[in-house]
Amino acid sequence: MVNIMTDFEPKIVAFLCNWCAYAGADLAGVSRIQHPSNLRTVRVMCSGRIDPLFVVQALKNGSDGVLVAG
């Protein structure tokens, strides 16, 4: 029997600020720290300029969650 709760891996889209969060993610990559394969990053110039429709569009296209980090 397959347990759905243990096998579920949510698809997450992350909008990362170029100057803050993306720099941290890039540093983690340089340090060979891997991020989960179900996380997709999108670099934006500023997290304050994220159009709410980007979040809606990501969810509409099948993402289970959206992260906006700055």
Residues paired with residue 13 on neighbouring β-strands, in sequence order: 40, 66
pLDDT digits (tens, 9 = 90+) for 7-53: 788 999 999 999 988 888 878 877 888 888 899 999 999 999 999 99
Q: What is the structure's pLDDT at 1?
A: 56
Residues near 58 by beta carbon (within 8 Å), at least 6 away in sequence: 13, 66
Q: How far apart are CA 68 and CA 47, in angstroms?
A: 7
The pTM is what? 0.81
pLDDT digits (tens, 9 = 90+) for 56-67: 999 999 999 999
| Helix count and strand count (H, E) for the chain | 3, 3
